[in-house]
Amino acid sequence: MAVDLDARDITLNYTGGSVTMAVGNAKDIFGEDFSGLDPGPVETSVTVKSHSRTRVIGQPATNIAGYNYIYAQWPTSTASNAAAGTVIYMTWTGSGGDFTGRVSGSMSALATFFTANTKKALSFRTQRGTKYGPFAATT
């Protein structure tokens, strides 16, 4: 039994959300090797306030000094047992019609992602009929 790898779904995370679509569609929109799709991490600073900690109930508390740390926050997507996200219908140059995808996050974040990364002129609409685009192809 042959498996068409381009028919499988891929989820692309970006700042503010993620989009899930067929691998073949993603290759057509972003290029065969997905070049340029490097969301990169965002450095996030966390401040922990000073506090007291009791390890054993009834024993005296230990004071913990406040501190800061920085970590690299990579874009993530939401998880759900059901198909999470909002359905969108995408059309791009040479697509020949509408193709579906699922989006978590805001449509404006998706529009920003498409504007920065699409290799073809692309537009999309939500199930409710709101149209976005077209987004110009990047070189």
The structural domains of the chain, with segments of one domain joined by +, span 5-38+76-135, 42-73
pTM: 0.71
Q: What is the pLDDT of residue 138?
A: 63
CA 124 – CA 132 distance, rounded (Å) = 5
Q: What is the pLDDT of residue 125?
A: 93
Above pLDDT 70, what percent of the chain? 88
Tell me the per-residue pLDDT of 77-128, one tens digit each, with 9 for 90 and over: 666 655 568 899 999 988 888 899 999 888 999 999 998 888 889 999 999 9
Question: Which has more pLDDT, 34 or 105?
Answer: 105
- Cβ count within 10 A of residue 135: 21
CA 106 – CA 28 distance, rounded (Å) = 23
What mean pLDDT comes out for the span 20-48? 85
Q: What is the pLDDT of residue 139?
A: 60
Q: What is the pLDDT of residue 119?
A: 87
The vertex-53 CA angle with 48 and 58, nearest 5°, equals: 165
